[in-house]
Structure 1
């Protein structure tokens, strides 16, 4: 489960020449530009991630060719890690473990592709307004502020490049305005040609490497066998699938609930000795985690959402009566 969580928590991201357009005046139009820019522009840059005492620098290369997105992300600090995306397939490369985890990019949103393709529905859960214009990584950037309408989601401030709409900086804040996490480009080139060699792994994945297939099989909600006793306001079920846990461990049911920006995952797997599991709420940087056992299964709920939202959803998970 731990290796599987690394794959889910780490994989994905997103490609062709800058589109010059007049800057829109309303904040919802800005959200639309931000959502599309990360998918249609070519860009190469370095960004810094901050959460609590954690600071991490990554290099990203993104290219679009023939309508297909290609991307390579390399973490430059600590243990070497690399994510390579070709279309919908993602390879997470962990050289110290000599392991490659293969998954799918569908449904994932990571910096700078933080917004859904159709962000208009976010106004139901957030008050959205334009902020000030400032400079990020040498570019003029328009800020857009999303203030949550309840305590079940964090607030966000997004800075978009004025000409293209590409997200340059993203800040997540708690109810008191404190920093939860932040992504920010320190240098960036938007548009132009991207050398295909920059998209290739720099690690030789030869003999002795392990390949883990973490791709799941989509399920109909009616076939999941699990549901919520009470819905979490604003969060709807966006996907259900079964994912492999590894040799002799069977599969986990993976359900994702989202409000269009925040997403909470629920993993349900058979469990033997519940006393050996750390149950209850857990904090892991910007990720809130809640665990409980239900009918001989371990239910793990996690997401970039306030602890009360993750816990409330986790406590509502139940097995459907047959």
Structure 2
């Protein structure tokens, strides 16, 4: 399993709760293109604004249900190019605590143990363990950090009726982008619990770019925190590496955005802990659904070649900005969105 797919697994876990990778669902999604003008901006359909508040409530409910429920299952991410990653997941919510264990089933063996915001990734092949703090508030969807009107303003909400998915009664919602700066989504939400049981990411025509969901899902299973940690095996022999970062602000680190990328709001900014590359920061933006991370560091003495690549949905670019600085931008957004972020970065005098 690639590092990019692993990051995607970790990011989507709190939202999705059931595998739905059937061809019938994919065909149905592809047959419903979004209404869009020639300039790439979707037309507003009559009555759509009445659904904006309800879809925000649906997403908030899905987020809270995934945080508070105890469950186990197999989580799968499948990209349109055929790339796939899967992991077995155990998630315990107890007395306000979240404890999670994840074991990769594809690619390089990995074991991940999370207790609230503290995440440790164990790599059996090298006997190393990486400890980091990860802010779960920033996980999909990001509505707790972005103003409530942003989804309705930048996504066209289309109710998709009801479907029976792997034994669950679900309400279906399609959120198509109103401009070319973001992808769309199709969401299956289980009625009783509020869980989002299946998520597809769509291009502007409604074609499926990626599907992510659980299989073999069981709710309210009898999990215990001590047993989950014991199941990690003999981890005492692992060499521990701490990946430390400190919350800051872009302005405090000397950075400004001289314009806005429509719909995207600044969520967080972090800098490397003392002893690492001085001046390096990570600036995170979101529109409530999509996220972009800007990693900025000094250019350095050696020449660098600008580059652009993609891994599944994740677009990436490396570019010189503001004179003597180097930007690595990445996000599950169209490539022109990363270009827009690179163009607005400005270094304060």
1:238-249 alignment to 2 at 5 Å? Answer: 238-244=267-273, 249=277
C-alpha separation in 2, matches of 1:130 and 1:269: 43
C-alpha separation in 1, matches of 2:76 and 2:84: 7
Question: Which residue is 2:42 aligned to?
Answer: none
SS in 1 for 2:121: strand
Question: Which residue is 1:22 aligned to?
Answer: none
Whether the 8 Å CA contact 1:28–1:128 is kept in 2: the answer is no
Cα distance change, pair 118–192 in 1 and its aligned pair in 2 (3 A): farther
Of residues 299-308 and 120-129 in structure 1, the stretch that sits farther from structure 2 once superposed is 120-129
Question: Which residue is 2:100 aligned to?
Answer: 71
Q: How far has the Cα of 1:237 moved from its partner?
A: 1.1
**Structure with more of its chain in strand, by fraction:** 1
Cα distance change, pair 6–32 in 1 and its aligned pair in 2 (3 A): closer
1:126-275 alignment to 2 at 5 Å? Answer: 126-196=155-225, 197-200=227-230, 202-207=232-237, 209-244=238-273, 249-250=277-278, 252-272=280-300, 275=303
C-alpha separation in 2, matches of 1:191 and 1:176: 38
User: TM-score by structure 1 length?
Assistant: 0.84
How many residues are matched?
305
Quick one: which of 89, 93, 96 aligns to 2:125?
96
Q: How far has the Cα of 1:161 moved from its partner?
A: 1.3
- What is the CA RMSD across the aligned residues, in angstroms? 2.8
C-alpha separation in 2, matches of 1:55 and 1:43: 22
C-alpha separation in 2, matches of 1:227 and 1:45: 43
Q: How far has the Cα of 1:199 moved from its partner?
A: 5.0
Whether the 8 Å CA contact 1:281–1:290 is kept in 2: the answer is yes
Whether the 8 Å CA contact 1:36–1:117 is kept in 2: the answer is no
Q: How far has the Cα of 1:164 moved from its partner?
A: 0.3
Question: Which residue is 1:287 aligned to?
Answer: 314
Quick one: which of 59, 70, 73 aligns to 1:31?
59
Question: Which residue is 2:331 aligned to?
Answer: 303
Cα distance change, pair 10–243 in 1 and its aligned pair in 2 (3 A): farther
C-alpha separation in 1, matches of 2:290 and 2:338: 11
Q: How far has the Cα of 1:146 moved from its partner?
A: 1.0
1:47-126 alignment to 2 at 5 Å? Answer: 47-51=75-79, 52-107=81-136, 114-117=141-144, 120-121=148-149, 122-126=151-155
Q: How far has the Cα of 1:274 moved from its partner?
A: 5.1
Whether the 8 Å CA contact 1:133–1:142 is kept in 2: the answer is yes
Cα distance change, pair 9–103 in 1 and its aligned pair in 2 (3 A): farther
C-alpha separation in 2, matches of 1:7 and 1:77: 10
Cα distance change, pair 192–186 in 1 and its aligned pair in 2 (3 A): closer
Q: How far has the Cα of 1:6 moved from its partner?
A: 9.1
SS in 2 for 1:144: strand
Whether the 8 Å CA contact 2:100–2:113 is kept in 1: the answer is yes
Cα distance change, pair 131–248 in 1 and its aligned pair in 2 (3 A): closer
Gapped regions of structure 1 (runs ≥ 5): 16-24
Whether the 8 Å CA contact 2:77–2:85 is kept in 1: the answer is yes
Deviations 1:90-128 (A, max 9, x none): 112222232222222314655xx5453477332222122
